[in-house]
């Protein structure tokens, strides 16, 4: 397996999300990236030992989930949620299990963790490490920073 360097990742459209590996369970970071030829926001959510990245776009009305404040997750119900009309999404899959868009999904983004940290891949990015699983584990040495 060939590993891309940081410069190659940037030129392929990947976005580096600084300090993502330092997120505590339920915390998220918002970033911008190109998806479907549009600049959009996405977010990385720490869920247990996993870092999950989604486009910040509710499938109900194609608007941001969070009203711009970066709060996407409610630990009491263990769900990502939409502040607009209350749709809830399973963190590990992005599947909507309650609300007006039941059965639809948030758009999952591939992530790669290298020695620099977490990269989120836009739709033009290439990843030799691309995984079929929607879940990505944090690096085992994430406490080194």
Q: Number of helices and strands (H, E) in the chain? A: 1, 11
How many residues touch ligand FES under the rule CB under 6 A: the total is 10
CB of 84 or CB of 127, closer to ligand FES: 84
- Provide the mask over 106-125, with x wherever binding to ligand FES is found by CB under 6 A and - wherever it is not: --------------------
41 is a contact residue toward ligand FES (CB under 6 A): no
CB of 16 or CB of 98, closer to ligand FES: 98
CB of 61 or CB of 68, closer to ligand FES: 61
DSSP assignment string, 41-98: EEEEEEETTEEEEEES--TTTS--SSTTS---EETTTTEEE-TTT--EE-TTT-BEEE
Q: Name which of residues 45 to 74 contact ligand FES (CB under 6 A).
A: 58, 60-61, 63
Output the CA torsion sign for 34, 56, 118, 18.
Answer: positive
Q: Is-contact 107 52, C-beta < 8 A?
A: no
Rule CB under 6 A: which residues touch ligand FES? 58, 60-61, 63, 82, 84-85, 87, 99-100
């Amino acid at each position: 397996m060939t590993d891309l360097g940081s410069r190659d990742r940037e030129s392929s459209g990947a976005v580096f999300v600084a300090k993502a590996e330092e997120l505590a369970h339920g915390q998220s970071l918002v970033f911008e990236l190109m998806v479907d030829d549009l600049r959009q926001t996405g977010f990385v959510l720490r869920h247990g030992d996993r870092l999950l990245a989604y486009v910040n776009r509710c499938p109900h009305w194609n608007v941001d989930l969070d009203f711009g404040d970066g709060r996407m997750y409610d630990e009491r119900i263990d769900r990502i949620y939409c502040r607009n009309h209350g749709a809830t999404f399973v963190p590990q899959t992005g599947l909507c299990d309650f609300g007006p868009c039941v059965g639809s999904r948030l758009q999952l983004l591939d992530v790669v963790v290298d020695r620099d940290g977490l990269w989120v891949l836009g739709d033009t990015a290439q990843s030799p490490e691309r995984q079929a699983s929607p879940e990505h584990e944090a690096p085992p040495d994430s406490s080194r920073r």
